[in-house]
Amino acid sequence: MNLKIPFNNSKLPINYLLKNGSVIDPDKNTIEKKDVLIEGKIIKALKKNISVDEKKFKIIDCNNFFISPGIVDMRVNIGEPGFEHKETIKSACKAAASGGVTSIVCMPNTNPAIDQPAIIQSIQRKAREVSLSKVFCTGCITRGAKGNEICELQLMKEFGALGFTDGNKSVSNARVMRRALNYAKSFDGLIIQHAEEPELTQGGMVNEGEFATRMGLTGIPNYSEAMIIERDLWLVRDTKCRYHVSHISTKESVEIIRKAKKDGLPITCDTAPPYFILNELSLENYRTFSKLSPPLRTEEDRNNIINGILDGTIDVIVSDHTPHDQDAKRLPFNQAEFGGIGLETLLSMTLNLVKNNNLSLTKAIALITKNPSEILGLKTGKISPDSEADLIVFDLEKPWKINSESFHSKSKNSPFDGILVQGKNLMTFVRGRLVYKS
Amino acid sequence: MIEEKVFKNYPHKHLLGIEGLLPDSINYLINLSKKYANYLEDNNQKLDDLKNKTCINLFFENSTRTRTSFELAGKKLGADMLNISVGSSSIKKGETLIDTAMTLNAMQPDLIVVRHNDAGAVKLLSEKVNCGVINAGDGPHEHPTQALLDSLTILRRKKTISGLKVAICGDIMHSRVARSNIHLLNTLGAEVRVIGPATLIPKQIESMGVKVFYKMKEGLKDVDVIIMLRLQLERMSGSFVPSIREYFRYYGLNNEKLTYAQPDALVLHPGPMNRGVEIDSELADDLDRSAIFEQVQMGVAVRMACLKALVKDR
């Protein structure tokens, strides 16, 4: 397969020397000017003033740029199998590579759903053919994500499932959730929950409150998220299983998780850029690209999500990449699908917290590299000698306007379209190969 | 032809809702409606204000009165009126709203009147056509011509809107009539209250400038105008309210509850009425108290004004 420039999926080994970049090490919490020597798949050396034979190494000057571990995005809908008109593994991998995401963790709500090992194998085989970013899978908690019977969790784990979730559905039955947590505990599995009480959110389109009332849209109560988390915490207290709440969006969720962490429960959580960049007002004029699940909330919620990121309550930032074709979004608001794409904006939006909210650069990078990698038990997400060379080179200052038409994702439904941002990925290395160069 | 020199004009391309309209624009439409209402009272003849103009009535939701009212209004002005209702169109065959809009636009109408069951759908459609669009109701969002005709009716009986106390009662949550009326009455300076069981009052409606009451006795105290809303059948039994008889007992308007209001309080209802559910049958027929049939009459005049204001010369 031959992908056009700027992508490169050639298997030919090239060795690189990245000169003089500011290397961000989220493990050590440091930023230092260093050279990075990549030999084969591995970072061979990481120090100042490395000199090499210019014939054997391609030397890239990274002065003025930052070098960090590649991004691990733990919430991506890839669309394949089942929704190839929205996104394919190939287009998702291109979007990921250009956005600096070296590891994609895909959600199991494909069609058929990832509820058995064979589908994981099939996705991984295709990802190997595309050979850009790494692709990992999560498996369903329940068969077909229907919320009734537990899947073959251990078998799926053996075949590579990093965690278990019903994707964009909540496991609403407390008995099923309790069994899943209990069962996963026995093999140290990770249960990932999309927290939303379905009985309360039925028919809901946007955050309940003044805005929904004015627009004449059915509201989703803010606490429909918190009440599922609170319920699950009882189960986690009992089972002691590792539990991760995905894309939290409300003040209350942050408060509950902050307290649960203090109490020592094995809980982690993530949020996505829309929830700390936008609020419900971006739905003005019935803008369907901002119709997300969970819905965009109030400004107060947004500020509390930022506080949760700053104080470490929120462990991870995910893209929550949910591709939808035009036909699924150019509809009356009630009929349009939920979700927005995010692989190509995740880095810039995370860096926005550094620019506007005084988050340190190393912490920001940890939120999208080291932290998700540790939660998922991956070896990537770090930058150290002898580790696999999953790296990105980015410009922290470069200003650009988000134009979803220029994105590599097959779908263009970005809630950030038209926004001005700073910071852009320039190069992406996966296993030592330069897979993307802008 | 009717003289229009007193008025400036209506400055927008579409009429999608009352929210955001300035008092001047609203007054322009109401004054033009008054002219037409006066004309209709004295004359039976068609006008030629919109001669050679084509208007399309596009109704995605069943409607008799609003559709007929627009049709009649257009015909009184000499326009050619086309009716398209969903049952017989390609929308049932799976055509998207945007495709429908672009198809109709290609036929170059002068105006499209749209009703749709989804909030915001009329706005979406208006973005895809060149002509003006009138919202004849979009989900629970807005129904501007209904609010205008309610205000016109109130004005005829009460002379002014500013300073009046108006109570809107019943299913506020699902009502586009309530939302448009709240915007309009507030813009013209009335004091607006909403009354209903908490299950039918949407969250934070206070921020739209209304006072919320859960009891008729308290909410109706001293009001000058009562607007009753229709309660949809499917919401009556056990979902939003437990039963019809319980609803009527606590929120249905009868002569006894009417005594809480001003002695000359006016009763409006956008129709169709559920007699014995939200309004007592006898009261509905009392022409001194209830202006329900006058509303229908004013509806034609208001729609004539809106059609006239929005159809542009080409």
Q: Give the pLDDT band (50/70/90) at residue B237.
A: low
Mean pLDDT of the B157-175 span: 96
B2 touches chain A (CB under 8 A): no
Q: Give the pLDDT band (50/70/90) at residue B287.
A: confident
**DSSP labels, B49-117:** TTTT-EEEEEESS--SHHHHHHHHHHHHTT-EEEEEEGGGSTTTTT--HHHHHHHHHHT--SEEEEEES
Scan for tokens 């209702």, then name that residue. B85
- Taking an 8 Å cut-off on Cβ atoms, the answer to whether B141 and A208 are in contact is no
B138 touches chain A (CB under 8 A): yes
Q: Where are the beta strands (DSSP E) in chain B?
A: 54-59, 80-85, 111-116, 132-138, 165-169, 191-195, 211-213, 225-228, 266-268
Q: What is the pLDDT of residue B93?
A: 64
pLDDT in tens, B295-312: 999 999 999 999 999 998
> In this complex, which of A209, A210, A286 lies closest to B120 when CB atoms are compared?
A286
What average pLDDT is seen over chain A?
Answer: 95
Q: What is the pLDDT of residue B7?
A: 52
Q: What is the pLDDT of residue A54?
A: 86
Residue partners of A317: CB distance under 8 A and separation at least 6? A270, A271, A272, A273, A309, A346, A349, A350, A367, A368
Q: Give the pLDDT band (50/70/90) at residue A1.
A: very low
Q: Give the pLDDT band (50/70/90) at residue B4.
A: very low
Mean pLDDT of the B12-20 span: 96
Annotation marks residue A270 as catalytic: no
As a whole number of angstroms, the distance between CA A321 and CA A343 comes to 6
CA-closest candidate to residue B227, choices B187, B189, B188, B176: B176
As a whole number of angstroms, the distance between CA A328 and CA B13 comes to 28
- Taking an 8 Å cut-off on Cβ atoms, the answer to whether A213 and B123 are in contact is no
Is the pLDDT score of A134 beyond 70? yes
Q: What is the pLDDT of residue A9?
A: 76
Residue partners of A13: CB distance under 8 A and separation at least 6? A40, A432
| Cβ contacts of A209 on chain B, cutoff 8 Å | 203-204
Which range in A224-228, B85-89, B240-244, B282-286 is most confidently predicted, on average pLDDT? A224-228
Q: What percent of chain A has pLDDT over 90?
A: 94
Q: What is the pLDDT of residue A14?
A: 87
Give CA separation, B73 vs B37, B84, B113, B227, B301, in Å: 11, 16, 12, 24, 7
> Can you say how many angstroms the Cα of residue A370 is from the centroid of all Cα atoms in its chain?
13
Give CA separation, A98 vs A8, A92, A133, A392, in Å: 11, 10, 10, 10
Cβ–Cβ under 8 Å, residues A142 and A194: no
Is the pLDDT score of A2 beyond 50? no
As a whole number of angstroms, the distance between CA B68 and CA B272 comes to 14
CA-closest candidate to residue B257, choices B230, B285, B229, B279: B279
Q: Give the pLDDT band (50/70/90) at residue B92.
A: low
As a whole number of angstroms, the distance between CA A228 and CA A169 comes to 12
B296 touches chain A (CB under 8 A): no
pLDDT in tens, A12-24: 778 999 999 999 9
Interhelix angle B23-42/B144-158, rounded to 10 degrees, is 70
Q: What is the pLDDT of residue B63?
A: 86
How many Cβ pairs within 8 Å bridge chains A and B? 68
Is the pLDDT score of B2 beyond 90? no
Is the pLDDT score of A409 beyond 60? yes
Mean pLDDT of the B183-211 span: 97
Torsion of CA B21, B185, B295, B248, to 10 degrees: 130
Mean pLDDT of the A102-121 span: 95
- Kindly give the pairing relationship between strand A30-39 and strand A42-47: antiparallel
Look at B118 and B8; give whichever has higher pLDDT: B118
pLDDT in tens, B241-281: 999 899 999 999 999 999 999 999 999 999 889 898 999 99
Q: What is the pLDDT of residue B90?
A: 56
What average pLDDT is seen over chain B?
Answer: 92
As a whole number of angstroms, the distance between CA A30 and CA A362 comes to 7
- Taking an 8 Å cut-off on Cβ atoms, the answer to whether B141 and A333 are in contact is no
Q: Give the pLDDT band (50/70/90) at residue B38.
A: very high
B contact test, residue of A215, A289, A290, A299 with most B CBs within 10 A: A215
